[in-house]
């Protein structure tokens, strides 16, 4: 039953995303102002700790590298609006939430939730926190704040179940970005590659010239690379099919994608396992590697480092993915049993507000989830991302919670970890087939 509803949700997601690709641009079409189905004010008593000062504890994994700065910018807006509420920043370090999500899970299990936490729109939110009754619906807040008018209609199904809306999206990130060092490419007479074969050829040239072709980091950054290569090899329709059961994980096409991935790994730095995403991205802007595939939070980091767009770094869709925007969205939730519900609601109001999103996103390296942010506040890269979000085919990210529930993702991660050790493409493919059968929609 649970499997069925997850599958249906998955189909709804894909359908909605495809619809957006067929002309309903996410940034131009306001959401239908359908009436919220159920009143959903939090039922907990207001938060008044013994000292009389209200609080809110907000949990995320934004502790550095452009991410903390973005969060701080939004906290500043919060503090200006709610000077009497103490903000407790409970961020836990580690890119993509690898550490934070484990800490969060044990806190939730122990009945000690933070008031609000960062949860990705899509299967992570629905399949974990909603399924586990760990968060509260926010329909009343959507109504009082008018958010159905300003949030992209493509996002609403990814944060909803049975008519209840469960989170407040703060941004849209792009996963399929190829960052490159323009100087290194120029010195080696290399054009920015648009196909995977061109990319291989470019990296052969770089390797021969003694340059590290591809900067790579710890395990989750390899999953991130894998999802973009699946997209670049299969195209958006077949990529979507991986998540709704229509594309056979055992097919020859998927095998080619995995072979491409295997080949890409041969161009990477040998110390990838010990590098964070920031370490890896930094290799490119420091001139120590030519390419890096990373979400556009890397741009927030490059700016924090004082690097200049088009000089220290350039960007392009990952080869083979032009015209497709592989997205994810950070959103904030209200914990079931939040210790400080008033503080949490105040935080969510800022997270969903124009002022909050305009402060946060230009620094974080993301575009607003809201459709009414002032474009001129954003730099050149993010303005190009806004255009692409509005015009490209939109598909979801695996690594960042959109397309697969946590158990499926974790099985893929285990298979990937083994593959990185043994390089056996056939065994990897067989494990991916098995993962789709046990936790995904494959029969
Ligand atoms: C993602 C998250 C981004 C960024 C990234 C790297 O999962 O959605 O906002 O934080 O991890 O840490």
Task: Confirm whether 1 is domain-assigned.
Answer: no
d(CA 338, CA 336): 5
Ordered strands of the 330-332 beta sheet: 85-89, 54-59, 116-120, 330-332, 168-169
> Shortest CA distance to 70 belongs to which of 307, 330, 326, 294?
330
124 lines ligand 1 (CB under 6 A): no
Containing domain of residue 153, as a range?
A: 54-172+329-396
What the block records as the tokens of 297 is 């939070």
How does pLDDT run across 238-288, given as a tens digit for each residue? 999 999 999 999 999 999 999 999 999 999 999 999 999 999 999 999 999
Our mutation pick for probing the ligand 1 site, out of 63, 172, 173, 397, counting the most ligand atoms within 8 A of Cβ, is 173
409 and 286 fall within a common domain = yes
Same domain (yes/no): 413, 346: no
Chain-centroid distance, C-alpha 179: 17
Q: Is residue 282 domain-shared with residue 253, that is, in the same domain?
A: yes
Q: Could you tell me if residue 121 is inside a domain?
A: yes
Say how many Å lie between the CA of residue 28 and the centre of ligand 1: 25
Q: How far apart are the first and last CA of the chain?
A: 15
Atom nearest to 277 CA in ligand 1: 6
Mutational test site, ligand 1, from 170, 297, 398, max ligand atoms within 8 Å of CB: 297
- Confidence band (pLDDT; 50, 70, 90) for 211? very high
Structural domain contains residue 10: no
User: What is the average pLDDT value for the chain, to the nearest integer?
Assistant: 91
The band of 2, judged by pLDDT with boundaries at 50, 70 and 90, is: very low
Q: Cα of 300 to ligand 1 centre, how many Å?
A: 11
Confidence class for position 443, pLDDT limits 50, 70, 90:
confident
* Cβ atoms < 10 Å from Cβ of 348: 26
Q: Same domain for 144 and 165?
A: yes
User: Within this chain, do residues 278 and 426 fall inside the same structural domain, yes or no?
Assistant: yes
Checking if the pLDDT of 42 tops 80, the result is no
Least confidently predicted of 39-43, 55-59, 105-109, 389-393: 39-43
What total number of domains does the chain contain?
2
Those residues with Cβ within 8 angstroms of residue 210's Cβ, 6 or more apart along the chain or in another chain: none
Return the pLDDT at 53. Answer: 77
Ligand 1 contact, 101 CB (< 6 A): no
The answer to whether residues 344 and 407 belong to one domain is no
Quick check: is 28 in a domain?
A: no
Same domain, 379 and 409: no
Rounded to the nearest angstrom, the distance between the alpha carbon of 51 and the centre of ligand 1 is 35
| 371 and 385 assigned to the same domain | yes
Q: Exposed, middle or buried, 316 (CB in 10 Å: 0-12/13-18/19+)?
A: middle
97 lines ligand 1 (CB under 6 A): yes
**pLDDT for the residue 291:** 99
Q: Is the CB of 365 under 6 A from ligand 1?
A: no
Q: What is the pLDDT of residue 304?
A: 97
Domain assignment present for residue 36? The answer is no
Atom of ligand 1 nearest to the CA of 295: 5
| Residue of 443, 159, 137 lying closest to 328 (CA atoms) | 159
- Do the domain assignments include residue 135? yes
The C-alpha atoms of residue 317 and residue 395 are separated, in whole angstroms, by 13
Single residue among 379, 396, 413 that ends a domain in this structure: 396
235 and 360 within one domain: no
Neighbours of 380 (CB within 10 A): 11
Q: How confident is the model at residue 3 (pLDDT cuts 50, 70, 90)?
A: very low
Nearest CA to ligand 1 atom 2: 96
Residues 61 and 105 in one domain: yes
Mean pLDDT to the nearest integer, 35-58? 54
The arithmetic mean of pLDDT across residues 72-99, rounded, is: 97
For ligand 1, say whether the CB of 297 is within 6 Å of any of its atoms: yes
Write the pLDDT tens digit of every residue in 289-308.
999 999 999 999 999 999 99
Closest C-alpha to ligand 1, atom 4: 96
Is 240 in contact with 395 (CB distance < 8 Å)? yes
203/338 same-domain check: no
pLDDT in tens, 61-79: 999 888 999 999 999 999 9
Q: Is the pLDDT of residue 330 over 50?
A: yes
Do both 218 and 309 map to the same domain? yes
Q: Tell me if 67 CB under 6 Å of ligand 1.
A: yes
In a domain, 313, yes or no: yes
Q: What is the CATH number of the domain that holds 156?
A: 3.40.190.10
125 within a domain of the structure (yes/no) = yes
Mean pLDDT is lowest, of 10-14, 56-60, 334-338, for 10-14
């Amino acid at each position: 039953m649970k499997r069925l509803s997850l599958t249906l949700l998955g189909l709804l997601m894909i359908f909605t995303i495809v619809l957006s690709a067929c002309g309903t641009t996410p940034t131009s079409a306001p959401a239908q102002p359908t009436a919220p189905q159920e009143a959903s004010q939090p039922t907990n008593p207001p938060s008044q700790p013994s000292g009389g000062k209200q609080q809110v504890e907000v949990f995320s994994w934004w502790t550095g590298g452009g991410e903390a700065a973005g969060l701080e910018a939004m906290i500043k807006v919060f503090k200006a609006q709610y000077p009497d509420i103490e903000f407790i920043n409970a961020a836990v370090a580690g890119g993509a939430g690898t550490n934070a999500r484990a800490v969060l899970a044990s806190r939730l299990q122990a009945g000690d939730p933070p008031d609000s936490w960062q949860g990705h729109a899509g299967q992570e939110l629905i399949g974990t926190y909603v399924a586990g009754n760990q968060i509260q619906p926010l329909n009343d807040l959507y109504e009082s704040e008018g958010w159905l008018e300003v949030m992209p209609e493509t996002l609403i199904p990814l944060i909803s179940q049975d008519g209840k809306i469960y989170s407040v999206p703060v941004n849209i990130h792009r996963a399929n970005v190829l960052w490159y060092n323009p100087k290194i490419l120029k010195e080696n007479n290399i054009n920015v590659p648009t196909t995977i074969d061109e990319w291989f050829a470019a990296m052969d040239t770089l390797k021969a010239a003694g340059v590290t072709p591809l900067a790579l980091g710890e395990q989750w950054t390899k999953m991130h690379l894998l999802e973009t290569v699946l997209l670049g090899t299969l195209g958006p329709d077949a990529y979507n099919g991986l998540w709704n059961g229509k594309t056979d994980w055992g097919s020859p096409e998927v095998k080619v994608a995995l072979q491409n991935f295997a080949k890409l790994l041969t161009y990477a730095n040998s110390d990838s396992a010990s590098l964070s995403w920031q370490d890896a991205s930094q290799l490119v802007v420091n001139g120590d590697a030519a390419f890096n595939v990373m979400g556009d939070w890397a741009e927030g980091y490059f700016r924090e480092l004082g690097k200049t767009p088009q000089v220290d770094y350039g960007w392009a869709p990952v080869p083979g993915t032009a015209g497709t925007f592989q997205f994810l969205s950070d959103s904030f939730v209200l914990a079931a049993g939040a210790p400080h519900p008033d503080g949490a609601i105040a935080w969510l109001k800022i997270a969903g507000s124009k002022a909050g999103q305009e402060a946060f996103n230009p620094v974080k390296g993301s575009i607003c989830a809201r459709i009414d942010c002032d474009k001129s506040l954003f730099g050149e890269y993010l303005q190009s991302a806004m255009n692409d979000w509005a015009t490209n085919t939109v598909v979801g990210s695996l690594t960042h919670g959109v397309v697969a529930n946590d158990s499926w993702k974790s099985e893929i991660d285990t298979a990937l970890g083994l593959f990185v050790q043994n390089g056996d493409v056939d065994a990897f493919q067989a494990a991916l087939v098995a993962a789709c059968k046990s936790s995904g929609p494959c029969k």
